[in-house]
Structures are given as C-alpha cells and as structure tokens.
Structure 1
Amino acid sequence: MRDAGGAGATKAADWLPLVLLLVVGTLWGATFSIGKIAVTHGIPPAAYAFFQSAGAGSVLLVLALLRGELARPRAGLLLYGLVAGTVGLTLPNVNFTVVIQHLEAGTMSVVITLSPLATYVGALLLGMERRSLPRLLGLLCGFAGALVLLVPGATLPGVDQSDWILLGILTPLCYSAQGLFAARFMPPGVGSLRLARLMLFGAALTSGIAMLASDSLYVPQGLGAAEIAMLLQIAVSSIAYVVVFEVLRRSGPVFFSQVGYVVTVTGVLWGMVIFGERPTAGLLLAGLLVLGGLFLVNRRPARPPA
C-alpha cells in the first residue's frame, strides 16, 4: 500500500505540468501588451529582440554560475541553441514587434494561437502525427477563424487590417517550426535551464547581427516606459523559457500546445486591462473558432481501462 506522503507527492507531480502551463500561458499573454508598450515608445524591433534574448540569457547564466552548473557546451548543443533561438525567438520577435505597432494586443493574441494548428500540419507532413478526422476538422475551424480576422472591420470597426494580420501570421508559423525542431532534436540528458540559456544566447547572436545590420542600435535613456517594458519582458522570458522546456520534458509537445488556450484568453484580458481594448464581435468569433480548432486538434480518445 502506498503511504500518504507518497500519494500526495504523486498527486502534486500530476498537477505540476498543468500549473506550469497556466503560468507560462499567462506570462506569454502579457507579452503582447508589454511588446506594444516597448516599441511604441521608441525601441526598434531588432533591438527589442536583442535585449529580450540577451537580458534573459544573462539572468539564466548568472543563475547557472550560482548553482555551479555551468559546463562547456558541445558543438551540437551550440548549433541546437542557434537554430532554436533564431527560428523560435529572433524571427518571430522581430516580426511581432513590427506588426504589434499596427494591431491591438488582443488581436495579436488570437493570431499567435494559430501556432498549435500549424504545428499539427507540420507534424503530419513530417510523419510525426497520424491523420485524424476530428483534428482535420479542428484545422478547418482554426482556418475559418483566421479568415474572420481578415474581414475588413473584424478587429477594428471600419478598418482593414488584413495586410498586417497576414504578416503577423508569420510569427506563429515560426513558433510552430521551433516547436517541431525542439521536439525532434532535443538533446537527451540536458537540463531545461541549460537548453533555455543556449536558445536565448543563440537568439541574442542573430538578433544582435540584425540590429547592427539595420542600424537600429538602441541606447536606453533613463528608466522610461520603454525601458520598464523591456525589463518586464526580460523577466518574463527568463521564467517562461525554462518552464517551456520543463513542460516539454514532463508532458511532451502535444500537451504543451494547449498553452494556446491560455495565451488567447489572457492576451485579450491583458489588452483590456492595460490599453482599455474592447474586443469586437468579429474578434470574439475568430477567437472562439480558433479555440474550438485547438480543442479538436488536441483532443485525445479515451484510453481503454487497464
């Protein structure tokens, strides 16, 4: 018979992935509003991506030093961090900060949620998932939600934002590509803290090159709204990307893809709280369609009793 202490520990371990999923989803939901504050107050997109990655990576580096866990990375780990950082951070973050200047935070939170749907398409093409009628229906549902967003006036009354929304879709496509890459090539036996650090510094390298190449070097001026937003983003990234790898390790990419539910809801709520945004009927319809698509794509048949 299992003792009470062991049963309690097992129950807590079972709930931990869900708690971590809610934490990272809420943090990521806030990044749409934080990023909008930063770039609308003068931080160029490439500089925003650089400071976010370099700052969060430095925090995790100090943490590793304090814990005595700093080890010389192998060439394969460096390459993994460079690819994951470029595809999963530099490209989507630069694109995001360009687009968020023209879209509401709530709208972008719905656009980002297309990432798990794109991940399923990629997994199908790579042979990592099998075809399923409910999941195909989920893809159609999510696609319908994206089409609703493209209707003029759907996100802002009387305004056609379809061009910016189409450009914004590149961000969730990058996230899905990074998720597939991480799931297939994650190095075994490497801790979540180390993987997150390598990814962040890989992104810092490529975003730093982009910042210098585009002549968008940014020097902080005191502690204004842009700098405070940047510090908040660094704190969010420091926590979130460690949690991401931990959830992937404990429950896998399919479970983690459900973070989209949390991101959509909290992203809209953060936009309402910080910017006073009021979702239009079109945005609510698109959000419901995308969430419905997510439900169908993540739906799993019940297991037979043992």
Structure 2
Amino acid sequence: MIAFLPLALVAPFCYACEGNIVARWGTAGLDPFQVLFGASAIGTVIALPLAIGSGQFFVPTSPFVLADFTLLFGSIVHVLVYAGYVGLIARAGSVFAGQVSYIVTGSGVFWAMLLLGETYSVWVWLALLCMGAGLSLVQPRVAERTTLGETAAHG
C-alpha cells in the first residue's frame, strides 16, 4: 500500500498550489463563482473524454430517483463550498484557507460515525484534538494598509 502514498499526495499538492497561486496573483478580477466556472469548464474538457471512453458517463433521466437528486444536491453544495473556499483564500490568505482541509477531515470522521457506525481508537481522538489545537493557532492574514502616497511612490 505504501506505493500508493505518492498518489494520495497529488490532491493536497494541487490544493496547496491553487491556494498559493490565488493568494499571490489573485483571480484576475473574477469573483469566486466565475473562477469555479472556468475551472469546471477546464475539468469538463479533461474528464468528459475519460468518462465516455471508460463507460462511466452518466446523465440523469426521468423518472428521477434518489441517486439523481443526490448528485444534484452534491453538485450544488460543492459549488457553494468551493466558491467560498476561493473567496476565503482571497480574503484571509492561503495558509488560513488551507485549514479547511483539517475541518473536512474531522467532519469525515464524525459523518462516518453517524452514517456508517464506525468507531475509533483513542489515538484518532488524540490526533483530532491535536489538529483542533493547531487550527486554533492559525489566524487570517492581516490586510496591509498603504496610503495613497506610498502606493504612488512604489507603483
């Protein structure tokens, strides 16, 4: 299983790159929903041929069943949460916004308990406690104040 560890690190690496790029260069004047739309369009160009080629392409059809509504609900939640994440990067910085991943991890533990009946050892609870303590130490980026004269002198 250790051979798959580098594969598991791809998503966190991409999140780190995204957070730093958005924090450093911004979103070219686009709001978070516009950024997400562009990212989704690019993702569609990449994923659509893969989905069709592998036979995994799915289009909900009438009569709609629970799986169709779940897909729609999950998509709406994803758009709102991810747009909020992009907006948080722009407002509070990439380090503060990156803390979202720890909240997602903790939420996953609690959802697994609630929905799947999973139980965890004391080590998992200690790890979550350490994560919570670390989260409490991270603060949002403080906006830099500049006067008009400083901006004109440097710009």
Is the 2:22–2:90 Cα contact (8 Å) retained in structure 1?
A: no
Amino acid at match of 1:280: S
The one of 63, 72, 81 aligned to 1:231: 72
Contact 2:88 2:97 in 1 (8 A): yes
State the shift of 1:183 in Å.
Answer: 2.6
Tell me how far 1:193 sits from its aligned partner: 2.3
Specify the SS of the correspondent of 2:93: helix
Classify the secondary structure of the residue corresponding to 1:278: coil
Number of residue equivalences: 138
Answer whether contact 2:19 2:89 (CA < 8 A) is retained.
Answer: no
Q: Normalized against structure 2, the TM-score is what?
A: 0.67
Q: Which has the higher contact order (CA 8 A, sep 6+)?
A: 1
Letter in 2 for 1:187: T
CA–CA distance in 1 between the matches of 2:43 and 2:117? Answer: 32
Structure 2: gaps of 5 or more residues = 141-155
For residue 242 of structure 1, what is the aligned residue in structure 2?
Answer: 83
TM-score of the superposed pair, with normalisation by structure 1:
0.38
CA distance in 2: counterparts of 1:164 and 1:224, whole angstroms: 39
Q: Let me know the Cα RMSD of the aligned residues.
A: 3.0
User: C-alpha displacement at 1:172, in angstroms?
Assistant: 2.1
CA distance in 2, matches of 1:179, 1:224: 37
Deviation at residue 234 of structure 1 after TM alignment: 0.5
In structure 2, what is the equivalent of residue 186 of structure 1?
26
- Pick from 107, 121, 125: which aligns with 1:266? 107
- Using the TM superposition, give the Cα deviation of residue 282 of structure 1 relative to its aligned residue in structure 2, in angstroms: 4.1
AA of the residue aligned to 1:283: V
Aligned residue type for 2:69: I
Percentage of identical aligned residues: 27
Aligned to 1:152: none
Which one-letter code corresponds to 2:29 in the other structure? G
**Runs of 4+ deviating beyond 4 Å:** 162-165, 288-296
Residues 1:168 and 1:249: Cα distance change in structure 2 (over 3 Å): same
* Structure 1 position 164, deviation (Å): 9.0
SS in 2 for 1:216: coil
